Amino acid sequence: MSVLWRPSRGLFFLFIMALCLVSTVALYAQSEVMPVQNPTVTESVTSENSAEINNIKNAENKLDSKESNLSEKALSEGAEAMASSEDSIESLNSDSNKAPKIPQKPYYFESSRSSTLAVILVLLIFVAYYTFQAQRGREMFIRRISGLSAIEDAVGRATEMGRGVLYVPGIMDMDDIQTIAGVTILGHVARKTAEYDTDLYSPMTRSFVMSVAQEVVKQAYMEKGRIDAYRPDRINYLTDDQFGYVAGVGGIMMRDKPAACFYLGTFYAESLILAETGNSIGAIQIAGTAEPSQIPFFVAACDYTLIGEELFAASAYLSKNPREVGSLKGQDMVKIVIIAAIVFGTILVTLSKTPVGERLGFATAATTFMEFLK
Amino acid sequence: MLFVKRTLPLLITFVSGIIMIVAFFSGPALPRIKSLEEIFPQWIQIIMTFTMILGAFSLIRFNFQKIARKQNGWGYSIVLLVGFFGMATLGMVSGSWAKFDPEIKENSTFMCLAENKLTAVEVNIKSIETTKDGGKIITVENKIPDKDGNVFTRKVSTDRLKTPIMSKISILQQVLFEGVFKSAQSTMFALLAFFVASASFRAFRIKSKEAGLLMFSAFIVMLGNVPLGNMVSKLWTWLPFIGKYLDIVVIKEWIISYPSSAAQSAILIGAMLGYISSSLKIIFGVERSHLGGEG
């Protein structure tokens, strides 16, 4: 199990250090070669031009404020102001064309993505720390997730009723993390169906996912010593078409009447059609997706729903693997950092809007903080 | 065997993952690395295309087995296989296969497909113009004049000019695609309307305090989206003191903009962290249950 983990632990730290080093060097190099962040902007704005820019801004502000009143007069004034501002922009452009342009040197680090790098680094540090803590034997608490705890009950119910289990790992391909999470949970469900000798149906919308799912289920049946019960024809490809797939799965549901249905992965408009068909056959249904627009449909039509991150936590929750549990804890710590930032920012912005806050310089602090977050 | 099944995929994942991260953060000064950000997704597309063969093979085998064993619903498998092979053949033949398309010469007769490719008329080729990019624009004239005796002339692209047999094949393919496939697709999508009604009926049954709140807010949002909501708001303006604050549309907007939006943002933040965390776990080989076996 730890064949690749041990070398990758070293790589893990090496990677963090390398990223830190590269980003520091790149930022330093960038500050040397790039006086301006935006590569399209040229260093040609003279004092006259900046005065003109202020005039344009004033004209635009005037237009905004006038537009809010929605009176015809204000609109016409605003339009005039805008027209004059457009003239100014044209003259400004012609001026700036005449001015000498300073060519931009190419830069090594995409600074517009530095906030993403910061989040990844913080997450990486927390995940690494808690993973090592978990490996050293530190107990990590995971709250109960009803949907995942109900998996065994659902498979048990299907066994008692003498009916099968239907598993749908979403409608996207293996390049989607939600599909990978769905296939991972399929492995756990397959272990249960192998243990209880229950039929497992898993029609697929992508042939690549089918191939991976067949391997995962086969491995699960082998682990439980029930390879004879493994049926690759039940993990079959239907179609790539969204509604063609729904029609196919609906047909399987109506003909075979599975007692438990799992929908875990990426779903779009088909979520409700699947869940309502499952409901009509009286199946116990467990769904999970990170698509915010589909969660209400699953909540309305299914017995249990894994919301957003719970789908990704499933693997750690079900396997109780210390490495994965540790990474889950690290993820939670980043969430705390984000919540703290949101609360701090909210307080800062609220204070900046009060007269006292304005006097004490909270407005500047709030603006600086918001810029930092961006 | 274990190396091929477990270690090699983990190594490939690790190397590809690191390359993609580096490419994502690199600037224009590193053009070769930066270009990988576009090249890698193209590789994925190529691999996915090859897996379609795998899917087609699985589909054919599964349905042939079903027919051979005369399993429950084997008749549907016949329909599926006929549809599969029929559409594949028509699609391949009606496509731009040079062998089936004779050379277009001036004063020759062709069938010209309509823009929706569902009908065709017999035309004479009047002139052929070559565009800058090497394409051809053909001026054609209807062979049969309309009921007023006018001969209709227009400019068309070469893909719309077919021989009589090829035009019939193209029309049949298009009729099946538009008339059967797209109609069936729309039917499935239309079912959603009925399912929304039945699911919301169950969701809005007040069984707990939370369900009651859900019902109450859903009622306001629904009312705010229909003209009746404005009428109700006007009625309430007669109420003393609180009447003017009970504007259904304003309350609806508030529900959507604040509580609903805040909850969605929270879900998104959690999901995005899950995305990053899962990706890192996969890159570093911590999460490997998708390769089979325990993580």
Could you report the per-residue pLDDT of A88-136, keeping only the tens digit for each? 555 545 554 555 556 567 788 888 888 888 888 998 899 889 888 888 8
ipTM reported for the complex, 2 dp: 0.85
Does the beta-carbon distance from B203 to A300 stay under 8 Å? yes
Confidence at residue B99, expressed as pLDDT on a 0 to 100 scale: 62
* Chain B residues with beta carbon closer than 8 angstroms to that of A235: none
pLDDT surpassing 50 at residue A5? no
CA distances from A116 to A268, B39, B78 (A): 27, 22, 52
Question: What is the mean pLDDT of the segment spanning B158-166?
Answer: 86
Instruction: Choose the mutation target among B8, B12, B25 for the interface with A, i.e. most A CBs under 10 Å.
Output: B25
Residues of chain A above pLDDT 70, percent: 72
* Chain B residues with beta carbon closer than 8 angstroms to that of A338: 269, 273
Does the beta-carbon distance from A109 to B58 stay under 8 Å? no
Residue B294 binned pLDDT confidence (cut-offs 50, 70, 90) = low
pLDDT surpassing 60 at residue A61? no
Could you tell me if residue B183 is left (phi over 0), alpha (psi between -120 and 50 degrees) or otherwise beta? Answer: alpha
Residue A93 phi/psi, 5° resolution? Answer: -60, -45
DSSP assigned state of B288: -
What mean pLDDT, rounded, does chain A reach? 80
**Range name among A138-152, B4-18, B230-244 with the lowest pLDDT average:** B230-244
Q: How far apart are CA A143 and CA A165, in angstroms?
A: 26
Instruction: Choose the mutation target among B65, B286, B291 for the interface with A, i.e. most A CBs under 10 Å.
Output: B286
- Report the residue of chain B nearest A321, measured CA to CA: B295
Q: Does B163 or A262 have the greater pLDDT score?
A: A262
Q: How far apart are CA A74 and CA A72, in angstroms?
A: 5
Tokens representing A219?
A: 């491995």
Residue A189 binned pLDDT confidence (cut-offs 50, 70, 90) = very high
Interface A-B: count of C-beta contacts within 8 A = 221
Confidence at residue A68, expressed as pLDDT on a 0 to 100 scale: 45
Q: How far apart are CA A351 and CA A357, in angstroms?
A: 5
Q: Which residues contact B174 (CB under 8 A, 6 or more apart)?
A: B116, B117, B118
Q: How far apart are CA A368 and CA B118, in angstroms?
A: 62
Tokens representing A252?
A: 């399987």
DSSP assigned state of A112: G
Does the beta-carbon distance from A338 to B269 stay under 8 Å? yes
Question: pLDDT digit string (tens) for B93-147?
Answer: 887 565 666 788 888 889 999 988 889 999 999 888 888 888 888 899 888 887 7
HSE-up of B288 (CA within 13 Å, CB side)?
22
Does the beta-carbon distance from A11 to B284 stay under 8 Å? yes
B35 close to A (CB below 8 A): no
B192 close to A (CB below 8 A): yes
Nearest chain B Cα distance for residue A303, angstroms:
11
* Chain B residues with beta carbon closer than 8 angstroms to that of A3: 6-7
pLDDT surpassing 70 at residue B63? yes
CA distances from A146 to A149, A286, A288 (A): 5, 10, 12
Q: Does A37 or B282 have the greater pLDDT score?
A: B282
* Chain A residues with beta carbon closer than 8 angstroms to that of B189: 243, 269
Could you tell me if residue B78 is left (phi over 0), alpha (psi between -120 and 50 degrees) or otherwise beta? Answer: alpha
* Chain A residues with beta carbon closer than 8 angstroms to that of B185: 241, 243-244
Confidence at residue A26, expressed as pLDDT on a 0 to 100 scale: 54
Q: Which residues contact A175 (CB under 8 A, 6 or more apart)?
A: B44
Question: What is the mean pLDDT of the segment spanning B227-256?
Answer: 87
Nearest chain B Cα distance for residue A109, angstroms:
5
Question: pLDDT digit string (tens) for B258-268?
Answer: 999 999 999 99
Q: Are strands B161-162 and B136-142 parallel, antiparallel or unpaired?
A: unpaired
> How do the domains of chain B map onto residue ranges?
2-71, 98-172, 209-289
CA A296 from centre of chain = 18
Question: What is the mean pLDDT of the segment spanning B174-182?
Answer: 92
**Cβ distance A350 to A365 under 8 Å?**
no
Give which of B52, B21, B50 is closest to B37, Cα–Cα.
B21
* Chain B residues with beta carbon closer than 8 angstroms to that of A334: 273
Which H/E stretch holds residue B162?
strand B161-162
- CB burial of A103-127 (b: ≥16 within 10 Å; e: otherwise) equals ebeebbbbbeeeeebebbeebbebb
Question: What is the mean pLDDT of the segment spanning B48-64?
Answer: 89
B267 close to A (CB below 8 A): yes
Residue A291 binned pLDDT confidence (cut-offs 50, 70, 90) = very high
**Cβ distance B137 to B131 under 8 Å?**
yes
Q: Which domains does chain A carry?
A: 12-112 (no CATH), 114-139+323-373 (no CATH), 146-320 (3.40.50)
Q: How far apart are CA A285 and CA A276, in angstroms?
A: 10
Nearest chain A Cα distance for residue B117, angstroms:
22
* Chain A residues with beta carbon closer than 8 angstroms to that of B51: 206-208, 211
Q: Which residues contact B168 (CB under 8 A, 6 or more apart)?
A: B120
**Range name among A212-226, A259-273, B149-163 with the lowest pLDDT average:** B149-163
Interface of B with A in 71-110 (CB under 8 A): 72-73, 76
**CB atoms inside a 10 Å sphere around CB B289:** 24
Q: How far apart are CA A261 and CA A136, in angstroms?
A: 38
Does the beta-carbon distance from A273 to B273 stay under 8 Å? no
B64 close to A (CB below 8 A): no
Confidence at residue B132, expressed as pLDDT on a 0 to 100 scale: 83
- Type of residue at B243: G
**CB atoms inside a 10 Å sphere around CB A44:** 14
CATH of segment(s) B98-172? 2.30.30.140
Nearest chain B Cα distance for residue A279, angstroms:
9
Residue B246 phi/psi, 5° resolution? Answer: -95, 55
Residues of chain B above pLDDT 70, percent: 96
- Report the residue of chain A nearest B289, measured CA to CA: A184
Does the beta-carbon distance from B292 to A180 stay under 8 Å? no
Confidence at residue B230, expressed as pLDDT on a 0 to 100 scale: 86
Positive/negative CA dihedral, A200, A201, A207, A208: negative
Confidence at residue B96, expressed as pLDDT on a 0 to 100 scale: 58
Residue B201 binned pLDDT confidence (cut-offs 50, 70, 90) = confident
Confidence at residue A206, expressed as pLDDT on a 0 to 100 scale: 94
Q: Does A242 or A35 have the greater pLDDT score?
A: A242
Residues of chain A above pLDDT 90, percent: 47
Question: What is the mean pLDDT of the segment spanning A160-186?
Answer: 94
pLDDT surpassing 70 at residue A233? yes
- Report the residue of chain B nearest A312, measured CA to CA: B274
**Range name among A13-27, A344-358, B13-27 with the lowest pLDDT average:** A13-27
pLDDT surpassing 50 at residue A4? no
Positive/negative CA dihedral, B29, B31, B36, B37: positive
Q: Does B178 or A102 have the greater pLDDT score?
A: B178
> Could you say which of A117, A255, A276 has the minimum Cβ distance to residue B199?
A276
Does the beta-carbon distance from B274 to A321 stay under 8 Å? no
Q: How far apart are CA B171 and CA B158, in angstroms?
A: 16
Q: Which residues contact B36 (CB under 8 A, 6 or more apart)?
A: B19, B20, B23
B225 close to A (CB below 8 A): no
Confidence at residue A135, expressed as pLDDT on a 0 to 100 scale: 83
Q: How far apart are CA B274 and CA B142, in angstroms?
A: 62
Nearest chain B Cα distance for residue A261, angstroms:
17
pLDDT surpassing 90 at residue A48? no
CA B217 from centre of chain = 33
What mean pLDDT, rounded, does chain B reach? 87
Confidence at residue B87, expressed as pLDDT on a 0 to 100 scale: 92
Does the beta-carbon distance from B196 to A108 stay under 8 Å? no
